[in-house]
Amino acid sequence: MERGAPQRPHVEEWREIEPAGDVPVARRQPLGHHQAAEDIALRSELARVLSRGDFPAGGDTLLGRLSEADAPAGLVARLARVTADRPFASAHEVMVALGINEPERRPR
C-alpha cells in the first residue's frame, strides 16, 4: 500500500553541485608573504620534531634532537645561531628566540 505521491529522497543532497556565484577572487599576496610562509613552515617543523618531553633543554640538546629528526638544514642553522648554551623551557621560547612566534595575519 502506497501513501501519497512519490517524492525525491533527501538523503544525498550534499552531492548536489553548489552554484558558482561566490567564487573568491584571487588577490595579490602582501609584501612579506614569502617570509610569513617560511615562518609558518618553521613553526610546523618545530611542532613536528619537538614535544613537551624535550623541555627544559639547552640549545645543544635541541640541535641534537633536530638533527636526529632530519629537520631542514635551514631550521638547524637558524637555531644554531640563536642558542649559544641558552636554556629553553618550552617550544614557544624557541620560537620567540627564532623570531617566528607571530601568528599569520589574514588579509582584509
Stronger pLDDT, 33 or 50, i.e. the higher one: 50
Per-residue pLDDT band at 2 (split at 50, 70, 90)? low
d(CA 71, CA 47): 11
Say which residue, 46 or 85, is predicted with more confidence: 46
Q: Is the pLDDT of residue 58 over 80?
A: yes
- Cell numbers 543532497: residue: 13
In our burial notation (b when 16+ CB lie closer than 10 A, e otherwise), range 43-54 reads bebbeebbeeee
- The answer on pLDDT for 25 being more than 60 is no
Using DSSP's 3-state secondary structure scheme, residue 62 falls into: helix
More confident: 17 or 6: 6
Query: What's the rounded Cα separation, in Å, for the pair 101 and 67?
Result: 22
Per the structure block, which three cell numbers stand in for 89? 623551557
